[in-house]
């Protein structure tokens, strides 16, 4: 039988189940075998690695993982796909479908059943990309590798350097939690239906956070909240602190209080965080 990533097979499944895609759930199915293989190759799966996937859709990526002999746990919100996934993967005893919203903590608990997945993979629904990445980063049992397909513009933000136009809170989080790189870009023609924009696949090797990840993200969000304001204004207003006190703490870090957050590298945010964390 043809693979699910084969466009004809995908169309047949869609016709059989009378499926129309929901834009609101970011439903663009991968129908390019090369890309599917390159995504899974990117994770360099070892024999016992167990994959957690968000948004399997009808299972094009999932199938590749299962055929390579690895286990996959897939969280899907759209119940129309449940019978399709069950039918397609009943022959595998290493597939688990978790029904629900990947932003919901209870759903994650079910997906994290022991032995917990140690690799994250997904062609992510663009509507939930940022909150989902934050969830992935702060999971108590750290993933070793995360390979995600996101909009090219998001990939650029994830891997941006300080001072560049696309550098923002997301870039700081990604460099705080991981060593990240864009593996390759993917054109619109690799999907059904075709999205309006290009996509890219980003690989992150997660590292142990130096400080409390959730609190650090909160601080970085505050620093970037008022984009056109100086660091001093963003932080003192955002944290409701006395301006003089904030000025002293920023200067103590050897940082110019008049700079904007988008020029600061990770190291500077860490120094600032050490001073301001008591007020978070």
Question: Residue 55 in contact with residue 29, Cβ under 8 Å?
Answer: no
List the one residue out of 109, 121, 125 whose CA is nearest residue 49: 121
Nearer to ligand SAM, 129 or 175 (CB): 129
88 belongs to the binding site for ligand SAM (CB under 6 A)? no
Q: Name the residue number minimizing CB distance to ligand SAM.
A: 55
71 belongs to the binding site for ligand SAM (CB under 6 A)? no
**Residues linked to residue 106 through DSSP beta bridges, in sequence order:** none
Which residues touch 48 (CB under 8 Å, ≥6 apart)? none
128 belongs to the binding site for ligand SAM (CB under 6 A)? yes
| Residue 251 Cα distances to 190, 248, 256, 266, angstroms | 50, 5, 6, 17
Nearer to ligand SAM, 61 or 206 (CB): 61
111 belongs to the binding site for ligand SAM (CB under 6 A)? no
Of 61, 66, 150, 220, the one binding ligand SAM by CB under 6 A: 61
Give φ, ψ of 260 to 5 degrees.
-105, 155
For the residues of 144-205, what is the DSSP string, one character each?
SEEEEEEEHHHHHHHTPPTTSTT-SHHHHHHHHHEEEEEEEEE-GGGEESPPSS-EEEEEEE
Nearer to ligand SAM, 33 or 162 (CB): 33
Scanning 86-94, 98-106, 208-216, 221-229 for contacts with ligand SAM by CB under 6 A, the matching segment is 98-106
Of 25, 239, 253, 266, the one binding ligand SAM by CB under 6 A: 25
56 belongs to the binding site for ligand SAM (CB under 6 A)? yes
26 belongs to the binding site for ligand SAM (CB under 6 A)? yes
**Total site size for ligand SAM, rule CB under 6 A:** 22
Cα–Cα distance, 120 to 47 (Å, whole number): 15
Nearer to ligand SAM, 8 or 278 (CB): 8
**Binding interface with ligand SAM (CB under 6 A):** 25-30, 54-57, 60-61, 75-78, 101-103, 123, 125, 128
């Amino acid at each position: 039988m043809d693979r699910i990533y084969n466009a004809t097979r995908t169309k047949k499944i869609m016709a059989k189940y009378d499926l129309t895609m929901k834009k609101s759930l970011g439903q663009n199915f991968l129908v390019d075998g090369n890309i599917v293989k390159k995504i899974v190759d990117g994770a360099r799966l070892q024999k016992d690695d167990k994959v957690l996937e968000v948004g399997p859709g009808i299972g094009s990526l999932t199938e590749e993982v299962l055929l390579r002999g690895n286990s996959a746990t897939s969280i899907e919100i759209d119940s129309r796909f449940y019978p399709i996934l069950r039918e397609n993967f009943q022959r595998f005893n290493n597939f688990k479908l978790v029904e629900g919203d990947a932003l919901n903590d209870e759903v994650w608990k079910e997906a994290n059943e022991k032995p917990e997945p140690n690799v994250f993979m997904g062609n992510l629904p663009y509507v939930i990309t940022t909150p989902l990445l934050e969830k992935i980063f702060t999971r108590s049992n750290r993933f070793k590798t995360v390979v995600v397909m996101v909009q090219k513009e998001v990939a650029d933000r994830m891997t941006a350097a300080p001072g560049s136009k696309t550098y923002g809170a997301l870039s700081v989080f990604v460099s705080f939690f991981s060593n990240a790189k864009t593996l390759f870009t993917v054109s619109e023609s690799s999907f059904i239906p075709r999205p309006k924009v290009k996509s890219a696949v980003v690989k992150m090797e997660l590292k142990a956070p130096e400080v409390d990840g959730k609190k650090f993200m909160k601080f970085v969000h505050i620093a970037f909240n008022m984009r056109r304001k100086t660091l001093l204004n963003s932080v003192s207003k955002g944290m409701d602190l006395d301006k003089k006190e904030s000025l002293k703490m920023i200067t103590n870090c050897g940082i110019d209080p008049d700079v904007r957050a988008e020029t600061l590298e990770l190291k500077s945010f860490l120094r600032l965080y050490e001073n301001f964390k008591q007020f978070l």
